[in-house]
C-alpha cells in the first residue's frame, strides 16, 4: 500500500458537551484530503487518542474511513502502554476499516529494548495490515534505538515504516542508512521535514499540515526536483507558524486554529486545558495565509 508523503495527525472534534463528534471528524477529514493530504493519523497524539475510550476510537476510525474512502490512507493509532490492550486495539482498528496501524513505543512503563521487540512482534503478528512504529521519546520516556527498530523490521515484513519524532537527526540518519528498501521513514517533527528529506526520508506526519499541507507538497516537490533554494525558502517561511503551533502542549494550539477556521473541533479534553490568550494573539495573524 502507498501510504503517501504528506500525512496529517488529525485532531479529534468534540461537541459542546465534550463528546466525540463523528460527523465533524468526517467534515474535517474530507477537507484535509482536499488539501493534498495523502493520509490521516486518527486517534493519535494530536487526536487525543489516549483520552478516547474503546467505543469512541472504533467510531472515529470508522467515520473517517467512511468519509475519505480510497482517497486517502486511514492510519489508526492503536498503540497503548500495554501489549494485550494494543493487540486488541489493532484488531478493532482492522475491523473498523483502517488501512494501516500506527503503534507508539509504550509510554510511562519505560520498556527495555528487548521489551519493545516483543511488544511490536505481538502487534505485527496480530494483523496483516502495514504497521508504522511511532517513536516519540519526549512523550513516552523511552527511545527506540535504530538497532531495535531494524531488528523488528527484519523479523516482521509488515512493519512498513516509522514516524520518527526523536528529534535526533543522527538517529534518523542511521535508520535511513540501514533500512531495507521497502521501509519508509516519515519525519515526525514539522520543523525537521526538510532536513529529513535531505537525508532521504519519505515524507512527514505533521501537525502544521492541518494548515500548510499544500506548502509542504510544494516543498517536497521542489526538493525532489532539485530546486533546493525554493524548498529552503518554503521551509523558512513556515517556521513562525510551526513555532506558534508548538508554543504550548500540542494539540492545544492546532485545535484552537481549526476552530478559528470554522470547524467545530471543540476544546481539548482534560488534563489539557484551553488556549492561552497571549498565544492566540500571536497565532491569529498567521492563519490568514493558510
Domain positions in the chain are 6-228
What mean pLDDT comes out for the span 164-184?
A: 96
Task: Please give the grid coordinates belonging to residue 70.
Answer: 480510497
* Placement of cell 500571536 in the chain: 282
3-state secondary structure of 182: coil
Residue 142 has pLDDT above 90, yes or no: yes
What mean pLDDT comes out for the span 164-179?
A: 97
Radius of gyration of the chain from its Cα atoms, rounded to whole angstroms: 18
What mean pLDDT comes out for the span 264-287?
A: 94
pLDDT at 290: 75
Residues designated catalytic: 134, 163
Q: How confident is the model at residue 288 (pLDDT cuts 50, 70, 90)?
A: confident
Q: Helical H runs in 69-205?
A: 83-95, 113-125, 137-140, 146-155, 169-178, 193-199
pTM above 0.85, yes or no: yes
Residue 270 has pLDDT above 70, yes or no: yes
pLDDT at 209: 97
pLDDT at 1: 66
pLDDT at 29: 98
pLDDT at 228: 97
CA geometry: angle at 74 spanning 166 and 131, to 5°?
50
What mean pLDDT comes out for the span 109-135?
A: 97
Whole-number Å distance between alpha carbons of 13 and 20:
6
Whole-number Å distance between alpha carbons of 75 and 100:
5
- Give percent of the chain with pLDDT exceeding 70: 100
Question: How many alpha carbons lie under 13 Å from residue 246 in its C-beta half-sphere?
Answer: 12
What mean pLDDT comes out for the span 45-53?
A: 95
Measure Cα distances from 281 to 253, 257, 288 in Å. 11, 11, 13
pLDDT at 148: 98
Q: Helical H runs in the chain?
A: 22-34, 54-68, 83-95, 113-125, 137-140, 146-155, 169-178, 193-199, 209-224, 228-245, 252-260, 277-287
Instruction: Judge contact between 180 and 146, C-beta under 8 A.
Output: no
Whole-number Å distance between alpha carbons of 271 and 273:
6
Kindly state the greatest CA–CA separation across the chain: 50
Residue 165 has pLDDT above 90, yes or no: yes
pLDDT at 121: 98
Residue 2 has pLDDT above 90, yes or no: no
Query: Superfamily for 6-228?
Result: Aldolase class I (3.20.20.70)
Query: Tens of pLDDT along 61-96?
Result: 999 999 999 999 999 999 999 999 999 999 999 999
Q: What is the DSSP letter of 129?
A: S
Instruction: Judge contact between 57 and 90, C-beta under 8 A.
Output: no
Amino acid at each position: 500500500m502507498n501510504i503517501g508523503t504528506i500525512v496529517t495527525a488529525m485532531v479529534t472534534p468534540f461537541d459542546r458537551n465534550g463528546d466525540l463528534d463523528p460527523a465533524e471528524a468526517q467534515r474535517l477529514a474530507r477537507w484535509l484530503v482536499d488539501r493534498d493530504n495523502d493520509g490521516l493519523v486518527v486517534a493519535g497524539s494530536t487526536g487525543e487518542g489516549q483520552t478516547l475510550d474503546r467505543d469512541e476510537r472504533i467510531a472515529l476510525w470508522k467515520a473517517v474511513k467512511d468519509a475519505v474512502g480510497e482517497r486517502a490512507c486511514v492510519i489508526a493509532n492503536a498503540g497503548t502502554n500495554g501489549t494485550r490492550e494494543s493487540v486488541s486495539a489493532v484488531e478493532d482498528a482492522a475491523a473498523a476499516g483502517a488501512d494501516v496501524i500506527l503503534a507508539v513505543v509504550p509510554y510511562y512503563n519505560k520498556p527495555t529494548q528487548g521489551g519493545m521487540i516483543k511488544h511490536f512482534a505481538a502487534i505485527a503478528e496480530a494483523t496483516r495490515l502495514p504497521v508504522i512504529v511511532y517513536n516519540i521519546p519526549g512523550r513516552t520516556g523511552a527511545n527506540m534505538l535504530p538497532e531495535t527498530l531494524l531488528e523488528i523490521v527484519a523479523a516482521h515484513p509488515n512493519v512498513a515504516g516509522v514516524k520518527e519524532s526523536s528529534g535526533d537527526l543522527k538517529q534518523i540518519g542511521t535508520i535511513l542508512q540501514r533500512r531495507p528498501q521497502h521501509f519508509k521513514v516519515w519525519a515526525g517533527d514539522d520543523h525537521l521535514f526538510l532536513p529529513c528529506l535531505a537525508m532521504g526520508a519519505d515524507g512527514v506526519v505533521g501537525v502544521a499540515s492541518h494548515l500548510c499541507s499544500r506548502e509542504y507538497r510544494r516543498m517536497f516537490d521542489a526538493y525532489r526536483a532539485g530546486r533546493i533554494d525554493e524548498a529552503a525558502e518554503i521551509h523558512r517561511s513556515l517556521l513562525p507558524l510551526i513555532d506558534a503551533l508548538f508554543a504550548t502542549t500540542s494539540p492545544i494550539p492546532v485545535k484552537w486554529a481549526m476552530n478559528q477556521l470554522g470547524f467545530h473541533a471543540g476544546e481539548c479534553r482534560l488534563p489539557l486545558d484551553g488556549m492561552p490568550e497571549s498565544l492566540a494573539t500571536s497565532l491569529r495573524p498567521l492563519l490568514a495565509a493558510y
